[in-house]
């Protein structure tokens, strides 16, 4: 980890960030959210995931982390069931069981903080792709087999889902049809999909791939997955163990922030200002860290230890972070920087979204 610890919420207007922290104005998460958040409803396409899987809710599993809905966190509980909760509590168990070792993903939802909202996609306990509505618990099995230990992800605009199929290749769906890309993925990894329908993933060769640009020359840490934002930023753990960022326009940076082995970054997805795209990750010291996707980025060690092998979730509007604490409990950080231990116990080796 870098020897100096900065508060990643300090910025200098629209021109980005600087390491000269004394010259900065502090901008709260709530301010960022008000400026950059957009109200997103669950799209018809994602809604079709619920319709297509409208069989009686049975036993299902979760997926891997990716984007999370403001105000709603999805997770696999210690009883292997799918749960959703607000960032301050009011959790409820949905009528689905979870594939052990996997984590859910959730659509951007409506941006409300007082109701449970968004569509949760996950790997069911039968190994198939499942979907469920966070608010109503409706949903079901899509009968699309997934690769073991992986999870689906929802695009930043809520129109598509990407996942690793049981044949080890990248698949996508709009809820009506299912497409095999023919591109082989690394075992145990999950894709990330942006609103442009560009999918980023770790290829079977261990390198970062995108569906638009193909294979990059950037090697990834085995067993980890990338994250994508709406404006095209990609974050991933490089083969050297550091957090890497591909910025808007294609610039690539090794941030120098060392990550914990076997973990992946997550990022906010709704901002159109990439300087304010928030990235959360487990640092090499085992603590929760956050940074932003600026050239002159700043990092913050929150001082909260995370469960080894897990990754943090970030809300679509950058206002909240959720993580699996080292005591096994779910923690959230809200837009006023208050940290809460919600009292929910997560399943071993899983991450909230």
Higher pLDDT, residue 229 or 68: 229
Residue 167's pLDDT is what? 98
Instruction: Report residue 100's pLDDT band, with 50, 70 and 90 as the boundaries.
Output: very high
Report d(CA 85, CA 72) in Å as an integer. Answer: 6
- The one-character DSSP state at 197 is -
Residue 181's pLDDT is what? 97
Instruction: Report residue 68's pLDDT band, with 50, 70 and 90 as the boundaries.
Output: low
Percent of the chain beyond pLDDT 70? 75
Higher pLDDT, residue 209 or 8: 209
Q: Is 88 helix (H, G, I), strand (E, B) or coil?
A: coil
Chain CA centroid to CA 114, Å: 21
Residue 296's pLDDT is what? 63
Burial of 177 (0-12, 13-18, 19+ CB in 10 A): exposed
pLDDT in tens, 279-303: 999 999 999 999 987 756 678 999 9
Q: What is the dihedral of CA 270, 64, 323, 9, to 10 degrees?
A: -30
Q: Is the pLDDT of residue 210 over 60?
A: yes
pLDDT in tens, 5-55: 333 433 333 322 222 322 222 233 333 333 333 333 333 345 657 656 544
Q: How is the chain split into domains, by residue range? A: 10-345
Higher pLDDT, residue 4 or 77: 77
Rounded mean pLDDT, 206-217: 95
Question: Is the separation of the CB atoms in 330 and 86 below 8 Å?
Answer: no
Question: Is the separation of the CB atoms in 164 and 184 below 8 Å?
Answer: no
Architecture category of domain 10-345 in CATH: 7 Propeller (2.130)
Residue 275's pLDDT is what? 57
**Backbone phi, then psi, for 157, in 5-degree steps?**
-100, 5
Residue 25's pLDDT is what? 26
pLDDT in tens, 241-251: 999 999 877 78
Question: Is the separation of the CB atoms in 279 and 311 below 8 Å?
Answer: no
Rounded mean pLDDT, 140-163: 92
**For residue 133, how many C-alpha atoms fall within 13 Å in the half-sphere facing its CB?**
20
């Amino acid at each position: 980890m870098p020897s100096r610890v900065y508060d990643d919420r300090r910025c200098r207007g629209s021109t980005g960030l600087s390491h000269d922290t004394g010259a900065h104005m502090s901008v709260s998460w709530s301010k960022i959210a008000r400026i950059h958040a957009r109200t997103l409803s669950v799209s018809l396409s994602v809604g079709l995931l619920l319709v297509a899987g409208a069989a009686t809710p049975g036993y299902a599993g979760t997926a891997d982390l990716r984007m999370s809905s403001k105000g709603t966190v999805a997770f696999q509980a210690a009883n292997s069931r799918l749960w959703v909760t607000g960032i301050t509590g009011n959790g409820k168990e949905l009528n689905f069981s979870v594939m052990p070792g996997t984590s859910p993903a959730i659509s951007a939802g409506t941006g409300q903080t007082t109701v449970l909202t968004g569509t949760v996609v996950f790997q069911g306990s039968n190994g198939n792709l499942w979907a469920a509505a966070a608010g109503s618990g409706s949903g079901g099995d899509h009968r699309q087999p997934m690769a073991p230990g992986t999870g689906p992800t929802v695009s930043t605009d809520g129109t598509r889902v990407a996942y690793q199929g049981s044949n080890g290749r990248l698949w996508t769906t709009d809820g009506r049809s299912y497409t095999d890309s023919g591109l082989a993925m690394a075992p145990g990894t999950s894709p990330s999909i942006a609103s442009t329908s560009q999918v980023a993933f770790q290829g079977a060769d261990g390198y970062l791939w995108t569906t638009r640009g193909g294979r990059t020359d950037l090697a990834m840490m085995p067993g980890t997955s990338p994250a994508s934002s709406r404006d095209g930023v990609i974050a991933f753990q490089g083969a050297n163990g550091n957090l890497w960022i591909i910025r808007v326009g294609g610039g690539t940076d090794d941030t120098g922030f060392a990550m914990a082995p076997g973990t992946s970054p997550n990022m906010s997805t709704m901002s159109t200002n990439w300087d304010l795209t928030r990235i959360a990750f487990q640092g090499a010291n085992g603590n929760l860290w956050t940074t932003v996707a600026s050239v002159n980025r700043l990092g913050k060690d929150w001082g909260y230890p995370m469960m080894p092998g897990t990754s943090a979730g970030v809300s679509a509007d950058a206002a909240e972070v959720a993580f699996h604490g080292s005591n096994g409990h779910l923690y959230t950080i809200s837009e006023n920087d208050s940290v809460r231990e919600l009292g929910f116990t997560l399943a071993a080796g899983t991450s909230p979204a």
